[in-house]
């Protein structure tokens, strides 16, 4: 084994208990993860990347989005690194929210409401002719 490989391995064998992300919730989450996931996270050299991964793991909206992905999409997302996985899921979530905002408010029947209480004058629009 080369000295470079030994250096990489020793860097990965960091004492898990000594890792501190600066946020107690993230520290607690990290310690609850399986060792394989912990190693995947600490292999990233920058603390900011590690923190972003942990935030992605702890985000219930991202978790819900992932659960609702098709099996094919899950397999694709699971084959990439954790940093990219949570970056992609975050972008998908943002796109989903943006699309929901563009559609605007809907009534239960799926049609646009005739009266918006937030209209500038506070009065309903004129009836259609």
Q: Model confidence over 73-108: pLDDT tens digits?
A: 999 999 999 999 999 999 999 999 898 888 766 555
**In a shared domain, residues 12 and 48:** yes
**pLDDT given for residue 74 in this prediction:** 92
23 part of a folded domain:
yes
**pLDDT given for residue 72 in this prediction:** 93
Cα dihedral 109, 112, 116, 118 in deg (nearest 10): 110
Are the C-beta atoms of residues 89 and 53 closer than 8 Å to each other? no
24 part of a folded domain:
yes
**In a shared domain, residues 13 and 48:** yes
20 part of a folded domain:
yes
**In a shared domain, residues 52 and 75:** no
118 part of a folded domain:
no
**In a shared domain, residues 43 and 70:** no
What φ, ψ does residue 43 adopt, rounded to 5°?
-70, -20
What are the pLDDT digits (tens) for 25-80? 999 999 999 999 999 999 999 999 999 999 999 999 999 999 999 999 999 999 99
7 has a pLDDT exceeding 60: no
**In a shared domain, residues 39 and 54:** yes
| CA 49 to centroid of chain Cα atoms | 13
Higher pLDDT, 67 or 122: 67
Q: Which domain holds residue 16?
A: 8-58
Domain total in the chain: 2
């Amino acid at each position: 084994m080369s000295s470079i490989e030994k250096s990489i391995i020793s860097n990965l064998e960091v004492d898990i208990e000594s890792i501190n992300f600066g946020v107690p919730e993230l520290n607690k989450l990290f310690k609850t993860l399986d060792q394989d996931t912990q190693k995947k996270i600490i292999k990233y050299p920058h603390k900011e990347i590690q923190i972003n991964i942990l935030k992605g793991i702890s985000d219930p909206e991202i978790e819900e989005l992932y659960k609702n992905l098709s099996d094919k999409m899950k397999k694709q997302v699971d084959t990439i690194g954790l940093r990219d996985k949570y970056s992609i899921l975050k972008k998908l979530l943002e796109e989903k929210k943006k699309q929901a905002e563009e559609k605007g408010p809907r009534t239960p029947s799926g049609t646009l409401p005739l009266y918006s209480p937030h209209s500038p004058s506070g009065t309903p629009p004129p009836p259609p002719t």
